[in-house]
Amino acid sequence: MKIAITGISAYLPKKVITNDDLAKTLDTSHEWIYTRTGIEKRHVVSEKELASDLGIKAAKGIIEQTNLNPKEIDGIIVSTTTADRRFPSCACKIQGEIGAKNAFALDINAACAGFIYGLAVSDSMMKGLNLNTVLLIGAETLSKFVDWTDRSTCVLFGDGAGAFLLQASTRRNSIIAAKLYSDGKKEKYNHILAHNGPQNDNRGYTTMEGRPVFKQAIDCMASSMNEILKENRMKIDDVDWIVPHQANRRILESLCKIRNFPLEKVIITTQEHANTSSASIPLAIKDGIDTGKIKKGDVILLTALGAGLVWGSAIIRI
């Protein structure tokens, strides 16, 4: 069975917080944030908006774009670290809201590498269960899980959702390969510290050891890119675009130096979106398509690292 990506959508909350906005309440500045991260602004949900709400908007975007009958969807897989509740899943809520009554629904949590994990899970389930149509969504509301008085973390994150429609095909194969990794011994570098958040509730807040995460991101993503290309007998010149997880522009620049790949062939949206965790890759791909950079038939190398630590790479064809 071949799996084709037949639709891509994205959704960003309306509220935008700029670096200058943050500088009004934090000991920081636009220059301080931008020079260290490449971030200029981030989209942020309202108090009542949830990850499932963003996922629903992205799902409806796919349905409208492709004229898909929701009853034809066999499965909905949502990658999120910021689910509405412990249970039921965001995927179940989305399934009910869009009328996909014949679809199974499940959430996966692989932090910022979640969309790559989701691609691998979707590919395996579609082939193993002989499914025709799966909706893969990355949806995050990280603004609800940061300490807005901590300039070392709150400036980094934003909210958003992106979705792929995956369908069985006899002509075109979009998911060429995926390779996944994890190292639980390094979980201390980046996690949500539960029950101690400034919100005074049970959500907790994000903590991060910036320097170790920075180094791990470069080392792990570079090595996974090397391995997946080697295993598929490909070279970096065979790739039209690299779309990495959009965490920090300096990380992306370092990756290009290591892989000897021109920065202009990397899709970068950190300046507009900040770090949207598992939503960052589909948001970046949609942006690349909308701006005319990514075209049909392009081969794209995806790579990401997230809390866990978990990381991985994938090769897809649009």
The confidence score (pLDDT) of residue 195 equals: 40
Strand order in the sheet with 159-169: 2-11, 159-169, 133-141, 75-79, 104-108
Active site residue 245: yes
The confidence score (pLDDT) of residue 273 equals: 97
Which residue in the list 19, 90, 92, 112 is annotated as catalytic?
A: 112
2-169 falls under which CATH superfamily? Thiolase/Chalcone synthase (3.40.47.10)
The position carrying tokens 């509301």 is 141
Active site residue 273: no
The confidence score (pLDDT) of residue 217 equals: 84
175-317 falls under which CATH superfamily? Thiolase/Chalcone synthase (3.40.47.10)
The confidence score (pLDDT) of residue 86 equals: 86
pLDDT in tens, 99-129: 999 999 999 999 999 999 999 999 999 999 9
pLDDT in tens, 54-100: 999 999 999 999 999 999 999 999 999 999 988 899 999 999 999 99
Give every residue of the chain whose pLDDT is below 70, as ranges: 187-205, 207-210
Domain 175-317 in the same topology as domain 2-169 = yes
Strand order in the sheet with 241-244: 175-182, 310-317, 299-306, 241-244
Q: Which sequence spans correspond to the domains of the chain? A: 2-169, 175-317
**Residue (of 292, 71, 309) closest to 183 by Cα position:** 309
Active site residue 112: yes
Whole-structure pTM value = 0.92
Which residue in the list 19, 154, 245, 273 is annotated as catalytic?
A: 245
CA–CA dist 97, 74 (Å, integer): 15
